[in-house]
Structure 1
Amino acid sequence: MNEPTYDVVWPKSPRGVHAVDLAPRLDSLDGKRVAFLWDYLFRGDELFPLLADELAARFPTVEILDYDIFGNTHGGDEREMIAALPSALREHRVDAVVSGIGC
């Protein structure tokens, strides 16, 4: 008897990105500088002001750095922007980031 044969393909590929440990969670946002980052794609101009108001109500001494300070995280120069982001965050003494990514 001639049994059929089938090629089998494993759909899982090797990992392309290695996991890294997350930064420790802040105990509070009081007295901290929080940077907003946005890709300018979906309603960040509506949502970030609401979030800033809520954070200020909960943490009266939080300082919000608006997304326009850092620029668009998506677009033609996103690689350069993201590459420069760590030094920009250090320059502005940022303690935490809220990144808005629209779909």
Structure 2
Amino acid sequence: MTGRESTISLEVYDPTGAIEADEHHAPRLADLKGKTICELSDRVWEDYRTFPVLRELLQKRFPDAKIIPYTEFPNVYGINADVLFKALKEKGCDAVIVGNAA
């Protein structure tokens, strides 16, 4: 070396492919009055037990809400997102219950 310092510039990219999201969630509904609530399940953890209870509690609190059971939708495990979104749109879902303990 001649005693001179050389400057090196490196540009590093995130290898995970992560991107920043401006919006993390859809805006919340003010309430569920008169809304169509759709249930989604991966058919793995006792949905046949929990969804009827959730359905009953929601109907008591929001009697004019329409609840479409998970049995009217495809299994969400491994489904193509476009197929799922199309099914949700066709049913007119305002809100979706996703996940069921486990």
5 Å-filtered alignment, 1:15-26, equals 16=18, 18-21=20-23, 22-26=25-29
TM-score (norm 2): 0.74
User: Contact 2:43–2:75 (CA<8 Å) still a contact in 1?
Assistant: yes
**CA distance in structure 1 between the partners assigned to 2:92 and 2:82 by the alignment:** 17
| CA shift for structure 1 position 86 | 1.2
Matched position secondary structure for 2:40: strand
Tell whether 2:70 aligns with 1:67.
Answer: yes
RMSD after superposition: 2.1
Change (3 A) 1:43 1:95: same
5 Å-filtered alignment, 1:1-103, equals 14=16, 16=18, 18-21=20-23, 22-74=25-77, 78-80=78-80, 82-101=81-100, 103=102
The one-letter amino acid paired with 1:16 is A
| CA shift for structure 1 position 94 | 0.6
Matched position secondary structure for 2:50: helix
Tell me the matched-pair count.
88
Alignment gaps of 5+ in structure 2: 1-13
**CA distance in structure 2 between the partners assigned to 1:36 and 1:30 by the alignment:** 17
**CA distance in structure 2 between the partners assigned to 1:95 and 1:37 by the alignment:** 13
**CA distance in structure 1 between the partners assigned to 2:15 and 2:32 by the alignment:** 40
Identity %: 33
The structure whose Rg is larger is 2
User: Contact 1:42–1:102 (CA<8 Å) still a contact in 2?
Assistant: yes
| CA shift for structure 1 position 28 | 1.0
